[in-house]
Amino acid sequence: MVLDYPETAKTLFAEHGYFFTERELVAMEIEDESRLKLVTSALVQAEINIYYIYPFIVRPNGRAALAISLEDNDLAADIMSNSGLTVLRQSDITR
Mean pLDDT rounded to a whole number for the chain = 87
Tens of pLDDT, residue by residue over 5-17, are: 889 999 999 999 9
d(CA 88, CA 76): 12
Cβ partners under 8 Å of residue 80, min gap 6: 26, 28, 39, 42, 87
Please name the helix (run of DSSP H) or strand (run of DSSP E) that holds residue 20, with its range, or none. Answer: none
Identity (one letter) of the amino acid at 90?
A: Q
All structural domains of the chain with their residue ranges: 22-93
The SS3 assignment for 64 reads: strand
Tens of pLDDT, residue by residue over 42-60, are: 999 999 999 999 887 666 5
Q: What is the CA radius of gyration of the chain?
A: 14
CATH topology of domain 22-93: VC0802-like (3.30.2130)
